[in-house]
Amino acid sequence: MGFSTMNAEDLTDVENVILQLTGDHPRLLFVLSGPSGAGKNSIIKNLLDNHVNEMDRVTTYTTREKRDGEVDGDQYYFVSLERFRELARAGKLMEAEGHDVYQSGHQYSMPSDLFEGVDDDKPLVVAEVDIHGMRRIRDRFPLVITIFVTAPPGSLMKRIRERDADLPDDEFANRIRTAHDQIQAAKEFDYVVYNKEGQFERTIAAIEAIIWAERLKVRPGFDLEAIFPASAFAIPETE
């Protein structure tokens, strides 16, 4: 996959070496997970604004209703349960039975082709998934970079209780149990970032630092020696 629209000055030194040797540079896949109310979607929207020419997001299928302000094909493809099952039977979904994230009766699944709808010219890809989705992606893409976004314990529980206070008791209880499961799984991730109240810019800066560090990491296809001329390390003969 080539990224012909990327200029050399937009790439890191590692990416430029790989580009010189292979005509390509790595597509980096970032996963953001975390409990409800951690601010994941706001973070991703900010990252996409910061990397308009470099980053795109994975779009997930769901059977839940579209909420105010949501756009079909942006964060989610909103489909009926019947259509969801048709896609599953056709092998178009990563999770054939879907996954009811919050035990609310709504199914979710990533496309079987994770990069379906992702701009081919954008080398940075971000996906917002739950812990089960993270594990599935990691199985298929071992080099995925996983980031767990949460908040300090007291703040997190306060957010969940305020955000989901109007839910029926059983759904609210499911949200709490899901948050507990996610917190237990935080140790499986590469990075953990606290999105503290009133410090959103600091959260974004932390994740941007992770993205930059990962772009500087040595990856398959990198061979610094190979871009030097053959004569570069020749030792002059002495008389």
The contacts of residue 61 (CB under 8 Å, 6+ apart) are: 76, 77, 79, 84, 87, 93, 108, 109, 110, 111
As a whole number of angstroms, the distance between CA 133 and CA 108 comes to: 10
Burial 5-31 (b: 16+ CB within 10 A, else e): ebeeeebeebbbbbbeeeeebbbbbbb
The contacts of residue 207 (CB under 8 Å, 6+ apart) are: 43, 47, 147, 193
**DSSP letter string over 24-49?**
--PPEEEEEE--TTS-HHHHHHHHHH
CB 107 within 8 Å of CB 94? no
> How high is the pLDDT of residue 103?
56
Q: Which ranges of the chain would DSSP assign to H, the alpha helix?
A: 13-22, 40-50, 81-89, 131-140, 153-163, 169-184, 200-215
> How high is the pLDDT of residue 4?
46
As a whole number of angstroms, the distance between CA 120 and CA 105 comes to: 34
> How high is the pLDDT of residue 3?
46
Coil/strand/helix, residue 78: strand
CB 211 within 8 Å of CB 9? no
Q: What is the pTM of this model?
A: 0.84
CB 12 within 8 Å of CB 173? no
Q: Can you list the domains of the chain with their CATH numbers?
A: 8-58+119-225 (3.40.50.300), 59-113 (3.30.63.10)
* Distances from the Cα of 221 to the Cα of 27, 183, 224, angstroms: 12, 36, 10
Tell me which residue of 101, 185, 93 sits closest to 146, measured CA to CA: 185
State the residue for tokens 């099952």: 85
> How high is the pLDDT of residue 96?
66
pLDDT in tens, the chain (239 residues): 444 455 667 788 999 999 889 988 788 999 999 987 788 999 999 999 999 989 999 999 999 888 888 888 888 999 998 999 899 889 999 876 666 555 567 888 899 999 999 998 898 999 999 898 999 999 999 999 999 999 888 787 777 777 766 777 777 777 778 888 889 999 999 999 999 989 999 999 999 999 999 999 998 899 999 999 989 999 988 76
